Amino acid sequence: MTDLADLSIADAGAGLRSGEFTARDLVDAAITRAAVTEAHLHAYLTLDQDRARAGADAADAAFAAGEDRGPLQGIPIALKDNMSTRGMETTAGSRILAGYVPPYDATVVAKLQEHHAVIMGKTNLDEYAMGSSTENSAFGPTRNPWDTDRVPGGSSGGSAAVVAAGSALAALGSDTGGSIRQPASLCGLVGVKPTYGVVSRYGLIAFASSLDQIGPFTRTVTDAATMLEAIAGFDIRDATSYRGDTPDISSLLDAGVAGMRIGIVKELSGDGIDPQVDQACAAMYKALADAGAVVSEVSLPASEYALSAYYLIAPAEASANLARFDGVRYGLRVDGETTEDMMAQTRAEGFGPEVTRRILLGTYALSAGYYDAFYGQAQKVRTLVRNDFAAAYEKVDVLVSPTSPTTAFPIGERTEDPLSMYYADVCTIASNLAGDPSGSVPIGLDDGGLPIGFQIMAPALHEAQLFRVAAEVERLAGFDARPALATSEVLPA
Ligand code: GLN
């Protein structure tokens, strides 16, 4: 029998409702798995077993009383450690927030709890979500369950690793430039970034506010839809929250792709993409055409400049967002002669090198005399990127590409070379700039046994089309491999 820790949300929900097992059994299975895998992965920063067991017991008690709050009831879920959890340490992977315990829950956390989901704990991330490998965490890197000498991707690498390894059935991450989709790709999972504004960021520690979105990591496309439906919706406490009706997400999961117009992004194939990734995606383009889609090539000419624009806009916003970590209001304080000394020393000791680099970049790009040349230019490029997408969506319903130009890379390979690390998001960043929904679905393994992810992008609020294609890609790929760590002999029988 499948270990309970390896079930999808849908299968776990069926087992809970048929009485085959309890929420307590599910949580115990995830905790047992974590007891073995965490020594290899370091994916959790906080794993609160007592709270998780209490949450499971509450879900079981609700079932026993005939109360059913839907598909997440009793499901063990992990949260990226940049989401505020009342009474549970929230660090953003930074030394400056070590020991900080928020007095309130992020809206997504409150929503999961309303659904009687079980919060397992908080997962590792690149400090303030800045990075693509989880090596920028102040608390040490997370490793990839498929190959522990390799990175899980980032910045939500801990969330990806726990779902791949089986120490949670699903997780939430945040995606500013690719931080859900790229680690999902590197860990063989489904990961979705919804349309900007569809999920509340209230209680998410901000990185770049015009780009940040929260979304799910799951093992199946259906599970991702279930998670997104649970967390989406207008929130008065997030000024950027979308006020219209929550978009349809799951009604087209079984619709297939016959007659759909699918555009292959010309700039995201061939040069710069690992040949095995490129070939796997090309095979999927053909499979989609064979399944009845009208597949054509589409150009997004400004995407060439998207990465450069992002690395001005995101640091600029970060430099403003991170000004609040001053030694007075939160976390670490390093005393100095004057208040200014105290603040400077707190920030110098509290922030790691990548965060410091971003603050310097962002402050420079915003400073008088450079604003027009850097930040202003980047905003113009952002408009061009949006226009490219708008023009493309006149011709096609969705766009597709690889999610990541490579499969998981070795730990340490890119830490000395920020530009090569930034390049990890070359396929994902444009849809953040556009504010559109996008997701990654695993489609196979490379020769080294590492997962390859396939990206689907859709126009704003067209999540249903994204999920429609994602479900077909999942069926066509038939990907059901599990990582070495979740299947190896280190696990007790
Ligand atoms: N890797 C990108 C960066 O470092 C994206 C991070 C993210 O999406 N949070 O900024």
Q: What is the CA radius of gyration of the chain?
A: 21
* Rounded distance from Cα 168 to ligand 1 centre (Å): 23
CA distance 310 to 422: 10
Other Cβ atoms within 10 Å of 373 Cβ, number: 11
pLDDT category at 491 given cuts 50, 70, 90 is low
pLDDT at 1 over 70: no
CA of 421 to the centre of ligand 1 (A): 10
Probe target for ligand 1 pocket from 83, 176, 308, 321, with the most ligand atoms within 8 Å of CB: 176
The whole-number pLDDT of residue 492 equals 56
User: For residue 486, what pLDDT is reported?
Assistant: 84
Q: Which of 80, 127, 135, 155 gets mutated to test ligand 1 (max ligand atoms within 8 A of its CB)? A: 155
**Residue 135, Cβ neighbours under 10 Å: how many?**
22
Residue 72 DSSP code: T
Predicted confidence at residue 2, as pLDDT, reads: 81
φ and ψ at residue 220, rounded to 5 degrees: -135, 160
State which H helix or E strand residue 45 sits in. Answer: strand 44-47
The verdict on the CB of residue 207 being under 6 Å from ligand 1 is: yes
Centre of ligand 1 to C-alpha 316, Å, is: 13
pLDDT value of residue 277: 98
pLDDT reading at 493 higher than 60:
no
Residues 6+ apart with CB under 8 A from 1: none
Confirm or reject: Cβ of 302 under 6 Å from ligand 1. Answer: no
Q: Is 266 part of the annotated catalytic residue set?
A: no
192 CA distance to ligand 1 centroid (A)?
Answer: 15
213-218 and 294-298: which strand pairing?
A: unpaired
Catalytic residue chosen out of the listed positions 132, 133, 155, 174? 155
Pairing type for strands 261-265 and 294-298 reads parallel
Q: Give CA–CA dist 120/29, Å, rounded.
A: 12
Instruction: Pull the structure tokens for residue 16.
Output: 């809970």
Do 133 and 31 form a contact (C-beta atoms < 8 A)? Answer: no
Ligand 1 geometric centre to CA of 126 (Å): 9
Q: Coil, strand or helix: which one is 247?
A: coil
Fold of 4-252: Amidase signature (AS) enzymes (3.90.1300)
Domain ranges of the chain: 4-252
- More confident: 491 or 274: 274
Cβ neighbours for 74, distance < 8 A, ≥ 6 positions apart:
12, 13, 16, 22, 23, 26, 56, 59, 60, 63, 116, 117, 118
> Is the preceding peptide bond at 210 cis, omega within 30 degrees of 0?
no
C-beta of 22 in contact with ligand 1 (< 6 A): no
Nearest atom in ligand 1 to the alpha carbon of residue 211 is 8
Looking at this protein, which amino acid is placed at residue 15? Answer: G
484 against 458, higher pLDDT: 458
Give catalytic status of residue 286 as yes or no: no
Does 487 score more than 90 pLDDT? Answer: no
Residues, the chain, total?
493
Q: How many CA atoms lie within 13 A of 45 on its CB side?
A: 33
pLDDT greater than 80 at residue 452 = yes
| Residue of higher predicted confidence among 329 and 103 | 103
With the most atoms of ligand 1 within 8 angstroms of its CB, the residue from 80, 126, 128, 132 to mutate is: 132
> Would strands 213-218 and 170-175 be described as parallel, antiparallel, or unpaired?
antiparallel
Mean of pLDDT values over 213-225: 98
Residue 489 has pLDDT above 60, yes or no: no
Look at residue 45 and tell me whether its pLDDT is greater than 70: yes
pLDDT (average), residues 283-304: 97
Rounded CA separation 178/120 (Å): 24
What does the pLDDT read at residue 490? Answer: 59
Q: Is 132 in the pocket of ligand 1 (CB under 6 A)?
A: yes
CB 361 less than 6 A from any atom of ligand 1: no
Q: Residue range 62-81: average pLDDT?
A: 98
If you average pLDDT over residues 13-34, what whole number do you get?
A: 98
Which residue from 399, 440, 432, 468 is spatially nearest to 196, judged by alpha carbons? 432
Confidence class for position 329, pLDDT limits 50, 70, 90: confident
Residue 488's pLDDT band (boundaries 50, 70, 90)?
low
pLDDT category of residue 104 using cuts at 50, 70 and 90: very high
177 Cβ below 6 A of ligand 1: yes
Q: What mean pLDDT is reported for the chain?
A: 96
Q: Residue 297, class by beta-carbon neighbours within 10 Å (0-12 exposed, 13-18 middle, 19+ buried)?
A: exposed
Q: Is the pLDDT of residue 31 over 80?
A: yes
pLDDT the model gives residue 26: 98
What is the average per-residue pLDDT within 345-366? 97
Determine which residue's CA is closest to atom 4 belonging to ligand 1.
131
Under 8 Å between Cβ of 222 and 216? no
Give yes or no for residue 129 CB within 6 A of ligand 1.
yes
Share of the chain above pLDDT 70, in %: 99
Atom of ligand 1 nearest to the CA of 174: 9
Compute the distance between CA of residue 121 and CA of residue 51 in angstroms, rounded to an integer.
9
Which of the residues 179, 250, 431, 440 is marked catalytic? 179
Q: Which atom of ligand 1 is nearest to the CA of 310?
A: 10
Q: What is the pLDDT of residues 398-442, one digit of tens each?
A: 999 999 999 999 999 999 999 999 999 999 999 999 999 999 999
The DSSP annotation for 360-419 comes to: HHHHHHHSTTTTIIIIIHHHHHHHHHHHHHHHHHHH-SEEEEESSSSSPPBTTSSTT-HH
Give me the mean pLDDT over the 6-20 stretch: 98
Average pLDDT over residues 135-144: 98
**Helices 23-41/157-165 angle, 10° precision:** 120
Across 100-126, average pLDDT: 98
Tokens representing 202 are: 């209230």
Q: Which two tokens stand for residue 271?
A: 């040069």
Q: How far is the CA of 176 from the centre of ligand 1 (A)?
A: 6
**What number of H helices and E strands is found in the chain?**
16, 11
* Percent composition of the chain: helix, strand, coil (DSSP 3-state, to 5): 45, 15, 40
Task: Please check whether residue 231 is in contact with residue 257, taking contact to mean a CB–CB distance below 8 angstroms.
Answer: no
Structure tokens at 165: 């390894």
Q: Calculate the alpha carbon distances from 180 to 50, 77, 103, 163, 339 in Å.
A: 28, 15, 26, 12, 38
Handedness of CA 72, 76, 80, 85 (dihedral sign): positive
Residue 348 confidence class, pLDDT cut points 50, 70, 90: very high
Is residue 179 flagged as an active site residue?
A: yes
Evaluate: CB of 90 within 6 angstroms of ligand 1.
no
**3-state SS, residue 114:** helix
Mean pLDDT of 237-249: 96
Check residue 212 and give left, alpha or beta (phi > 0: left; psi -120 to 50: alpha): beta
Confidence of residue 368 (pLDDT cuts 50, 70, 90): confident
Give yes or no for a contact between 130 and 136, defined as CB atoms under 8 angstroms apart.
Answer: yes
**C-alpha neighbours within 13 Å on the C-beta side of residue 224:** 36
Residue 388: its pLDDT value, please? 98
pLDDT band at 309 (very low <50, low <70, confident <90, very high): very high
Q: Is the pLDDT of residue 74 over 90?
A: yes
Lookup: tokens for 415: 């830490």
Q: How far is the CA of 310 from the centre of ligand 1 (A)?
A: 9
User: Using an 8 Å Cβ cutoff, are 8 and 15 in contact?
Assistant: no
